[in-house]
Structure 1
Amino acid sequence: MNPNSTGRRTFLSAVAGSLTAVSVAGCLDGDASDNGDEPEPVVDAADSLVGNTDPDAWRAVEEIRFDGYVGGWVGAAPSAIDRVENPTLVLVAGQKYEITWENMDGVHHNIAFWDANRDVVDEYTTAGNETVGEVETLEFEATPEMENYLCEYQQVGQIGAVRVLDG
């Protein structure tokens, strides 16, 4: 018997065992696409990824509040976005709003509105902060150019859509 064959056989058995374990774990754990459930929020403080986008739920809204985390914005108000991660904002063109966010993790965040070209709309952006508990407020008027709101420092995790209704 070749002295290398035992080592080779042991190695191949270990690889096969590892592949089996990974396959079984994948079948047991599954992801959202396997079992038909919606994906889970990244931020533990969030309960959902889908808020209420019914225009009637948004017509009287003037103030929007978020908690800011690296993983995403978590809605605090209005009730249409409460505990929703990166919810879609439904705004009315020409209406004035105030958006306030609180730093929840001590990482530098800001909030800005971008158009389809990834440019800040009408200088609607905040300076940002990295202090837990510190808040920033931005007053703005909704315009049809608004596509997204986001943190310019964590653009992948902290980004949500903006839907602007005709006034």
Structure 2
Amino acid sequence: MRMTGATAVGTVLAGCSDDGGNGGDDGNSGGGGEAIEPDTQIEFDGQTAGWVGIAPDSIADEKNPTLTLQEGETYEIGWTTGDDANHNIAIYDDSDEVVDDLATEETADPGDDQWLEFEASSEMVTYICEVHPNSMVGDIQVE
């Protein structure tokens, strides 16, 4: 009986842990209200625990913020600083497939090659680090 109780508590606690995913009550909703202006550069700090918004101001300091974009408009997304771990950034559809080859190479040293320029489309649903897919992932909403 004690084993069952301990297992149940462990299961409940495991479900409550912060896996660094997006959504939820931990403030991961920056940018989710008002759409980000077209031609905006969306900049992140690549941390294994999650993408931390740098720019625009609507996502600054937010972990894995939801990006609300305007369909058919052009944006640039990337990361300029990190925690010295390998990361990349990719844009996925609802089948967890890369949209239109929008993925960078893995690196611990972000530079000019860690930026993706794209036209927002409704098939885009997440931005993700393919090295850390459980913690470095955020929603994209296209209006």
| Coarse TM-score class (shorter-chain normalised) | 0.7 to 0.9
Q: Counterpart of 2:11?
A: none
Question: 1:40 touches 1:49 (CA, 8 Å); kept in 2?
Answer: no
Per the TM alignment, residue 127 of structure 1 is displaced from its structure 2 partner at its CA by 1.0
Give the TM-score taking structure 1 as reference length: 0.66
Which structure features the higher share of helix residues?
1
Q: Counterpart of 1:51?
A: 30
Return 5+ residue gaps in structure 1 as ranges: 1-32, 34-38
Pairing of 1:67-146 with structure 2 (within 5 A): 67-131=45-109, 134-135=110-111, 136-146=114-124
In structure 2, give the amino acid aligned to 1:101: W
Give the TM-score taking structure 2 as reference length: 0.76
Closer/same/farther in 2, CA of residues 101 and 117 from structure 1, 3 Å limit: same
Give CA deviations for 1:115-134 in whole Å, capped at 9, x if unaligned: 01000001111112113xx3
Question: 1:112 touches 1:124 (CA, 8 Å); kept in 2?
Answer: yes
Q: Percent identity?
A: 38
Match of 2:138 among 148, 157, 160: 160
Matched residue SS, 1:58: coil
Per the TM alignment, residue 60 of structure 1 is displaced from its structure 2 partner at its CA by 4.5
In structure 2, give the amino acid aligned to 1:102: T
CA distance in 2, matches of 1:137, 1:98: 7
